[in-house]
Amino acid sequence: MDRRDAGFESHPGRGRFNAAFFRVMDAYIDWHLHKHKASVFTDLPTRVVELGPGVGANLRYLAPGTRLLAIEPNPYMHAPLRRAAARHGVDVEIRSVVGERIDLPDDSAETVISSIVLCTVSDPAVVISEIRRILRPGGHYCFLEHVAARAGTPTRWAQRVLRRPWAWVFEGCSCERDLAAVIKSAGFSEVEITPYRIHSPFLPFNTHIVGRAVA
């Protein structure tokens, strides 16, 4: 297995740990995020592109029979993602490329989704421009992401103090990104973003945005 795939380097130990972590924590994370995901991952078409699907947290929001094109560079996610897709009756095709260089033509996707991925990519602005490039005019990008807390709050302080161990454990994840600003400045024709907070013991992870952008 090639650990260095189109710019993404997965560490064998942490790659496996993250695949196991998101499998074990799936129901718990969804319990926190379900209401917000359900508001944007709704009425999805039967062909969807997902950025960084991991082990398949969003398969439950797809109708059985959906064709999912998964942009997932971490090879340790692939086998559990295939198994989960089979359980949900979703036909998955995995592309082992990074969101910074999606190997799909311009204007080819109707809907792109992502959840808690832009925190981990190397360059969120480039990834968003790739999403815009592959979306057909009028196509939707539906997202839920965790973001930096307001300056001066205890959560923001925790995000700063814990940034290095957090990034080490979660393969580059940053809790300090203003992803709403990145999405708003990407040139979509419409953008709706709602900030919200969850109350989990993973304090740096508790500040989120959910929304939809139209290409």
Ligand X SMILES: C[S@@+](CC[C@H](N)C(=O)[O-])C[C@H]1O[C@@H](n2cnc3c(N)ncnc32)[C@H](O)[C@@H]1O
Interacting residues with ligand X (CB under 6 A): 8, 22, 51-54, 57, 71-74, 77, 98-100, 115-117, 120-122
Bridge partners, 213 (sequence order): 141, 191
- CB of residue 66 vs ligand X: minimum separation in angstroms? 16
Q: Which is nearer to ligand X, 114 or 139 (CB)?
A: 114
**What is the Cα–Cα distance from 172 to 195, expressed in whole angstroms?**
23
Q: Is 212 helix (H, G, I), strand (E, B) or coil?
A: strand
- CB of residue 152 vs ligand X: minimum separation in angstroms? 26
Q: Which is nearer to ligand X, 116 or 148 (CB)?
A: 116
- CB of residue 174 vs ligand X: minimum separation in angstroms? 11
Tell me the residue length of the chain.
215
Q: Which is nearer to ligand X, 133 or 189 (CB)?
A: 133
Residue 77 exposed, middle or buried by CB count within 10 Å (0-12, 13-18, 19+): buried
Q: Which is nearer to ligand X, 151 or 164 (CB)?
A: 164
- CB of residue 214 vs ligand X: minimum separation in angstroms? 22
Cβ partners under 8 Å of residue 188, min gap 6: 132, 141, 213, 214, 215
